[in-house]
C-alpha cells in the first residue's frame, strides 16, 4: 500500500487508506482539505448523524409489521413494554425490560404449553431495522429452525422494548430458549442494523453475560443466511450444554475470503 498522498483539482488531499473503503462503510481514508475534512465528507457525516437520530425516534409501524410477520407465523401477538411512550423508554431503560400488565395478562390468557423457542421481534433503538430486516431474517431462519425439529411458540412483536424483554416472555411461554430480534443502537453508517440475542432458560433476572449476541445483520453487514447459520450453531450448542452467554464459545467454521478474525488480521502479512 502506498503511503504517498495526492491532491485533487479541488484541493482535497487524498488518504492512502481510502482503498480500504471497499471493505467497510466505516469513515476511514476521508482525506483532508487544509487541516479539516473535505466538504463532501463533512456533509455525509451530518446526513448520517441525522439518519441515526431519525432511526431512534421512528415509531414502530405495528399494523404493517403484524401483517408482514403473519407470513412467517400463524400466531403473531402484539405486546408492549412497561414504558408508556418513546420519551419514557429513552429515560427509563428498566421499563423497557418489563412487560406492561395488559401484555402479561394476554400471555397468561393464552395458557401456552412449553415450547422449545420463543421468538421475539422488538423495536429497540431502531424501528427502521425491524421494518427493513426482521421479515427477511425470519424468512431464512424459520425454515432452519423447523429442520432442527424445534417447536416455536407464538411470534411476539413488542413496542418500546429492550433486549431483556425476551426473559418474561420466554418464561410465560415456558420456552427453553428465547431469541430476540431487536433494532440496534444506530451507528453513523448503520441506522438499519439488526441484532439477535438468545438466552437459554429465559426468566427475569438473567444477566447480559448469560446471553449470546449476533450483530450488524443487514444487507450491508452480516447476511441473513450467515447470521441464521451461526445462530443455529449456537442454539444447537446451547441445547446440548444447557447454557448460553460467555460460557458458550463460538467455534463454528466461517466461510469468508476475509477470514473471521480468529486466525489473524487479513490486512497483515502472514
Cell numbers for 142: 424459520
Question: Does some domain include residue 257?
Answer: no
Question: Does some domain include residue 6?
Answer: no
Count the domains in the chain. 1
CB atoms within 10 A of CB 82: 20
Return mean pLDDT, the chain: 90
Pairing of strands 115-122, 175-183: parallel
Is 115 part of any known ligand binding site? Answer: no
Pairing of strands 211-217, 194-200: antiparallel
What is the domain range of residue 160? 61-241
Closest CA to 81 of 211, 4, 174, 182: 182
- CA–CA separation, 48 and 116 (whole Å): 40
Question: Does some domain include residue 99?
Answer: yes
Q: Please name the residues in contact with 155: beta carbons below 8 A apart, sequence gap of 6 or more.
A: 69, 72, 73, 75, 76, 77, 119, 121, 138
- CA–CA separation, 151 and 174 (whole Å): 12
- Average pLDDT on 252-259 reads 61
Higher pLDDT, 251 or 196: 196
Question: Does some domain include residue 40?
Answer: no
Is 253 part of any known ligand binding site? Answer: no
| CA 138 from centre of chain | 12
Higher pLDDT, 4 or 87: 87
pLDDT higher than 80, residue 201: yes
Question: Does some domain include residue 31?
Answer: no
Question: Does some domain include residue 247?
Answer: no
Cell numbers for 105: 395478562
Higher pLDDT, 197 or 258: 197
- Average pLDDT on 58-75 reads 95
pLDDT band, residue 28 (cuts 50/70/90): confident
Residue 113's pLDDT is what? 79
pLDDT band, residue 224 (cuts 50/70/90): very high
Question: Does some domain include residue 254?
Answer: no
Q: Please name the residues in contact with 243: beta carbons below 8 A apart, sequence gap of 6 or more.
A: 200
Question: Does some domain include residue 112?
Answer: yes
Is 213 part of any known ligand binding site? Answer: yes
Rounding to the nearest 10 degrees, give the CA dihedral for residues 20, 21, 27, 32.
80
Higher pLDDT, 33 or 81: 81
Cell numbers for 203: 426468566
- CA–CA separation, 51 and 40 (whole Å): 17
Backbone CA torsion sign across 75, 149, 223, 241: positive
pLDDT band, residue 46 (cuts 50/70/90): very high
- Please spell the DSSP secondary structure of 78-92, one letter per residue: EEEBS--SHHHHHH-
- CA–CA separation, 174 and 152 (whole Å): 11
Q: Residue 103: give its domain's CATH number.
A: 3.40.50.11240
pLDDT higher than 90, residue 266: no
Q: What is the pLDDT of residues 129-174, one digit of tens each?
A: 999 999 999 999 999 999 999 999 999 999 999 999 999 999 999 9
pLDDT higher than 60, residue 212: yes
- CA–CA separation, 115 and 170 (whole Å): 9
Amino acid at each position: 500500500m502506498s503511503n504517498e498522498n495526492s491532491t485533487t483539482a479541488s484541493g482535497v488531499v487524498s488518504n492512502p487508506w481510502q482503498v480500504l473503503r471497499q471493505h467497510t462503510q466505516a469513515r476511514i481514508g476521508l482525506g483532508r482539505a487544509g487541516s479539516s475534512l473535505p466538504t463532501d465528507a463533512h456533509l455525509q457525516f451530518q446526513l448520517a448523524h441525522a439518519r441515526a437520530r431519525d432511526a431512534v425516534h421512528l415509531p414502530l409501524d405495528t399494523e404493517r409489521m403484524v401483517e408482514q410477520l403473519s407470513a412467517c407465523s400463524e400466531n403473531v401477538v402484539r405486546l408492549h413494554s412497561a414504558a408508556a411512550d418513546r420519551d419514557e423508554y429513552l429515560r427509563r431503560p428498566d421499563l423497557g425490560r418489563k412487560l406492561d400488565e395488559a401484555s402479561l395478562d394476554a400471555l397468561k390468557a393464552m395458557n401456552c404449553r412449553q415450547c422449545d423457542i420463543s421468538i421475539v421481534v422488538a423495536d429497540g433503538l431502531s424501528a427502521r431495522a425491524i421494518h427493513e430486516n426482521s421479515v427477511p431474517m425470519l424468512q431464512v431462519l424459520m425454515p432452519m429452525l423447523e429442520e432442527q425439529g424445534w417447536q416455536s411458540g407464538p411470534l411476539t412483536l413488542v413496542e418500546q422494548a429492550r433486549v431483556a424483554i425476551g426473559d418474561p416472555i420466554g418464561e410465560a411461554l415456558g420456552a427453553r430458549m428465547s431469541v430476540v430480534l431487536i433494532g440496534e443502537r444506530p451507528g453513523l453508517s448503520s441506522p438499519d442494523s439488526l441484532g439477535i440475542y438468545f438466552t437459554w432458560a429465559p426468566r427475569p433476572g438473567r444477566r447480559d453475560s448469560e446471553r449470546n449476541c449476533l450483530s450488524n445483520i443487514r444487507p450491508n453487514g452480516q447476511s441473513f443466511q450467515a447470521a441464521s447459520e451461526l445462530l443455529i450453531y449456537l442454539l444447537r450448542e446451547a441445547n446440548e450444554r444447557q447454557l448460553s452467554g460467555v460460557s458458550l464459545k463460538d467455534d463454528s467454521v466461517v466461510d469468508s475470503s476475509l477470514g473471521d478474525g480468529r486466525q489473524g488480521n487479513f490486512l497483515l502479512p502472514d
